[in-house]
Amino acid sequence: MTALSLFQAAAAGGSPPGGESLLLTDVIVEYVKFVGFFLAIGASAYRYLVLPRFEKGNPAVIGRGTAATLGVLGALLLIAAVFGAVELRALTGHKSFLQSLPKAIGRFQFQMIALALSLVGYTMARRASAVLGWPLAAIGILSVVMQPVYTARGFSGRVNAVHILAASTWLGTLTVMLLAGIRTIVSAPAGGLSRQNVAANIVNAFTPVALTAAIVVALSGATTAWLHLKRLPNLWETDYGRALIVKLCVVLAVVAAGWWNWKRVKPSLAAGDESVERLNRSATTEVAFAAIVLAVTAVLVSLPSPR
């Protein structure tokens, strides 16, 4: 079954051939959750992993306010996804919202408190106190994404938490850097420096973060895939496996776009202001591929693992 067929089956609210159920509502909830993680984790990673390295050679702060705003949006999306998942269970099970809450209510309550802490932190970082707000936001979102590491019973849940954290640190930070940093540079470079120099500095600050996170993504992703597939033929014999192949193809497109930015676009930044526009376009393309990865991943995790 092709990836297009999987999306069509989800849109129709039915099941693909072979009896593997796939509902559009489940896919939407998962997609909203992944986007929320990308923005919330990406905002903190941009603040703590990119900006300190970037600000050493620049007299002004680039994009902290915008990053905090994106963090607020990410936290809100995660809260919506958590409540949306419970509401969907209530609707499909013909129960009340309270009856559909997870049996592990303590984990659910911890998750909601941590998300609320992150939301308050990002809001404070944006408007009131950045000194207190950013640490609160980072602690809150890290507590949420790493919760399975100390609560999950199986190894798969722990590895998946690491995978989400690494992917969000890579592509989520890229998204925040594009919206809060690069596009700010395009319109108004900081401190009177040339656009090319500021853009080169911020890309240089992001590169080691991206490379490290991408390696962790590859290792944790391969581990998670093997734990779910169980045997190699399931990669091409099941809808889960075929969706995984589609995801890998799109991830390769992201990697290719990132390599192009690193090896071709970044060295050209000394050429002139038009090179900054070129960086903006190429980074936008990479983020667009990342959005497709999230969509395919939402379909993938909504499918049952092969038996």
Residue 18 has pLDDT above 50, yes or no: no
Q: What is the pLDDT of residue 12?
A: 43
266, pLDDT greater than 70? yes
User: Does 307 fall in a domain?
Assistant: no
The answer to whether residue 250 is domain-embedded is: yes
What's the average model confidence in pLDDT over 249-274?
81
Q: How sure is the predictor about 290, in pLDDT bands with cuts at 50, 70 and 90?
A: very high
Tell me the whole-structure pTM to 2 decimals: 0.86
Is pLDDT of 109 > 90? no
Q: What are the counts of helices (DSSP H) followed by strands (DSSP E) for the chain?
A: 14, 0
Q: If you average pLDDT over residues 86-99, what whole number do you get?
A: 72
Q: How confident is the model at residue 261 (pLDDT cuts 50, 70, 90)?
A: confident
Q: Is residue 178 part of a domain?
A: yes
Q: Chain-wide mean pLDDT for the chain?
A: 83
Residue 215 has pLDDT above 90, yes or no: yes
Average pLDDT score over residue span 254-279? 79
Residues of the domain holding 162: 3-302
The answer to the question of residue 161 being in a domain is yes
Residue 303 carries which side chain, given as an amino acid letter? L
**pLDDT per residue as tens digits for the range 178-212:** 998 888 877 765 555 677 778 888 888 899 999 99
Asked if the model's pLDDT at residue 167 lies above 90, the reply is: yes
Q: Name the domain count of the chain.
A: 1
Whether 93 has a pLDDT exceeding 80, the answer reads: no
